[in-house]
Amino acid sequence: MTEFRHETERLVLRDWRESDAQDFHRLHCDPQVMATLGPLRDMDYTTNLITDLQNRAKRNGGHTYWAVERKEDGRVIGFCGLDRGYEGTIVGELEIGWRLASDCWGAGYATEAAEACVSWARDHKPGERIVAITAETNTASRALMTRIGMEHCPALDFEHSHVAEGDPLRPHVVYVKEMN
């Protein structure tokens, strides 16, 4: 399989490398980033996640949540990409997701990367709809979903089984973008 690489004006979406671990781990230690995702994580979590994302790319025929590298300095600022949903009402669906370093929020990087993923899906997964999930309280991700043309589909909302009962992050909303 050839290495995945997709460039936008300011970003490179690409396959993961082991050398990305330090940059990526900063996200998992940042309380702002993890506020809507769960507890802070250790380096083992990050390196295991990179290996998992590499394996998902192989399993999915090249697509996963790709590393997002900023062109200006080569820093990996997070991930954005497409995977197969594994939870709740979206099992097997083409799911878009993102996670960016908090010092990069507000610069339009997430929108730029997400729009690139939608474009890639339109070219490589024609006719397949895209779904996105987030904790009900994650207003920033919900706003991004709306910006890229997704619509909230309350009938698909669910309680995330990997989040403890009673945790405010357990209720998840589902957004959908039809790609007809």
For residue 100, is it within any domain?
yes
Please tell me the predicted confidence (pLDDT) of residue 3: 87
Residue-wise pLDDT tens digits, 60-97: 988 999 999 999 999 999 999 999 999 999 999 999 99
CB count, 10 Å around CB of 172?
21
Please tell me the predicted confidence (pLDDT) of residue 2: 76
For residue 170, is it within any domain?
no
Strand 76-84 vs strand 158-159: parallel, antiparallel, or unpaired?
Answer: unpaired
For residue 108, is it within any domain?
yes
pLDDT surpasses 70 at 162: yes
For residue 157, is it within any domain?
no
| DSSP assigned state of 107 | S
Backbone angles phi, psi at 147, to 5 degrees: -60, -35
For residue 166, is it within any domain?
no
Please tell me the predicted confidence (pLDDT) of residue 180: 74
CA dihedral angle for residue 142, residue 24, residue 37, residue 177, rounded to 10 degrees = 30
CATH code for position 107: 3.40.630.30
For residue 14, is it within any domain?
yes
Residue-wise pLDDT tens digits, 8-24: 999 999 999 999 999 99
- pTM of the entire predicted model: 0.95
Please tell me the predicted confidence (pLDDT) of residue 96: 98
pLDDT-above-90 percentage for the chain: 93
What is the number of domains present in the chain? 1
Tell me which residue of 55, 54, 60, 61 sits closest to 14, measured CA to CA. Answer: 54
For residue 145, is it within any domain?
no
For residue 67, the enclosing domain spans 5-126
pLDDT surpasses 80 at 31: yes
Helices (H), 97-136: 109-124
| DSSP assigned state of 2 | P
For residue 161, is it within any domain?
no
